[in-house]
Structure 1
Amino acid sequence: MGLPHFEKCCCFFDLKTGNIILGCVNAFLSFCLFVAMIVAACEFGAMEKDTAKEMEIFKTVESIEVDARLSGLYAMSVILVLMFLAKLLFDVFFIIGVIMERKGIIKAYFIMWVVFMLLSMFTFFLNCEYWGVKTIITEVIYLSINVYAMLVCHSFYVQLNMREEV
């Protein structure tokens, strides 16, 4: 038994148009998150420098722990910047692949999307005890939209394969 197949996206768009729309939405959101992570990385970097100056004056255990946390947050934000840059590039290539109906690009995007979503889910489940209700609801909606986008992408990929067989 495989994944379910759709004939239409959002009940009235054909699969090609739906994938282009979902790809543009994902590219826009990836760009927004890319910029947000750059801002966060700059803020954590500045905070890290400030705590380093304070540590020279007050060498306490608390200041060392704060510096270690800020270093970890800075490193994580830089990693997320690179991840969202890669995702933005994949989104742009996906839109081009759908317009040109290139199965290889669509398959690579589908695989990347599955990996990215699994990483997001693992991060969500590992940290959900620290988040509030609004964040959890937002993440559940985000994951639901991702699952739908992946199913529409897969349906279009199958549709392209069926066109070649005929």
Structure 2
Amino acid sequence: MGLADVALQTLRDVLGRRGIRVADTRVDVYRLGAGFTGALDREGIEPSVETALRDVENADLVIAATPVFRGSYTGMFKHFFDLVDQYALANTPVLLLATGGGDHHALVLEHVLRPLFGFFQAMTLPVAVFASSGDFDGTVLLNPRVYGRVELAIADVASVLEERASPA
């Protein structure tokens, strides 16, 4: 499993024990197609792209995962968030995940991703998770320390999500 898969499965396990169902809504920006990559704004985008944007804007939790490319998030990742409404993620918990070629890429979490979601006034979780290429065997995450950080991050957000899910 990749890093995002590990985070999602851990979230399901932790919240499932608390009786909260986790939806399996994913947005893979690389699969959105030309209707996404050619979009300059929200006007006239394809329905599938609009649905993906609304799924993120209406989420109770966003798990934002990106590979590091030239010291930052990928252009496709940024383009997607350029189309997200500026205030749609206000107070939304966001778990930051990134993968890179080596540990020197880990700062992307604090110096690039956290400011991006600060612009949206999102509630980025204190614990962010980075995994380097050495933590994987191909696409399978092997490093138990990375698993531990994912568990710590999910523990941070579980009570917030539980509180939001409980009836008032």
For Structure 1 versus Structure 2, the TM-score category normalised by the shorter chain is under 0.3
Q: Which has the higher helix share?
A: 1
Q: TM-score scaled to structure 1, two decimals?
A: 0.26
Which protein, 1 or 2, shows the higher relative CO under an 8 Å CA cutoff with sep ≥ 6?
A: 1
Structure label with greater radius of gyration = 1
Q: TM-score scaled to structure 2, two decimals?
A: 0.26
Q: Which has the higher strand share?
A: 2
